[in-house]
Amino acid sequence: MPVPRFFQDALVLGSVRIGMLPLLSATIGATCLVALSLYLRRSRGGLAMRAASQDFTVSRLMGVKANRVISLAFAISGALAGIAGVLWVSRRTSVAPTMGFQPVLTAFVATVIGGLGNLGGAVLGGFFLGFLHIFLEVVLPAAWRPFLDAIALSIVVVILYFRPQGLLGRAETA
């Protein structure tokens, strides 16, 4: 799939070369993260979404319109998925029916390890998984590299065994 030639350029700062597509992806990702965080914390729709995520029944009793909250959540998630999809296709330069499986699985594991219901935890979980993969690629001998994902997920399981609520999640009280 053709992508704009601009994505193939690089920014050169001294001896450091940064590709435009990774730089653009990081910038757009950070902008979306800040915008979503501000929206969830400072807007009426964000407050309604956070209330509904805590206790849907009570938030409906307090006047939150359930259908609007659900529609809003789907609209926001669809817009963010569209942005991520364009950036993912730009990086891969091809399209396949199963191309979204790996990033969705990685995002789910990052969200669980960071703490469900916590935007900062999902980001921390994503960075943790990224650092873990790079660390294992550097440390593991070449013969073990085919098992990199299995080893990384085993480490995630060990972490979740000791901290089932995730890195930034709060323990549930009965």
Residue holding tokens 């660390």? 135
Each of the 174 residues of the chain gets a pLDDT tens digit; together they read 788 888 888 888 889 898 899 999 999 999 999 999 999 999 999 999 988 888 888 888 888 888 899 999 999 999 999 999 888 888 888 888 888 888 888 889 998 998 887 888 889 999 999 999 999 999 999 899 899 989 999 999 999 899 888 888 776 655
Alpha helices in 43-147 (DSSP H): 44-54, 56-61, 66-92, 101-114, 119-139
In DSSP terms, which residues pair with 11 in a beta bridge? 18
Same domain, 92 and 79: yes
3-state helix, strand, coil in the chain (%, to 5): 75, 5, 20
Domain of residue 157: give its range.
Answer: 100-174
Same domain, 69 and 129: no
* Nearest C-alpha neighbor of 29 from the set 95, 131, 132, 107: 107
Same domain, 85 and 117: no
Q: For residues 80 and 32, what is the distance between their CA atoms, to the nearest angstrom? A: 8
Of 41, 71, 96, the last residue of a domain is 96
Q: What is the domain count for the chain?
A: 2
Kindly list the distances between the CA atom of residue 148 and the CA atoms of 54, 134, 140, 142, in Å, as whole numbers in the listed order.
Answer: 36, 10, 8, 10
Instruction: Taking the CA atoms of 130, 131, 132 and 136 in sequence, report the sign of the dihedral they define.
Output: positive
- DSSP-assigned letter for residue 12: E
In DSSP terms, which residues pair with 18 in a beta bridge? 11
Of 39, 71, 96, the last residue of a domain is 96
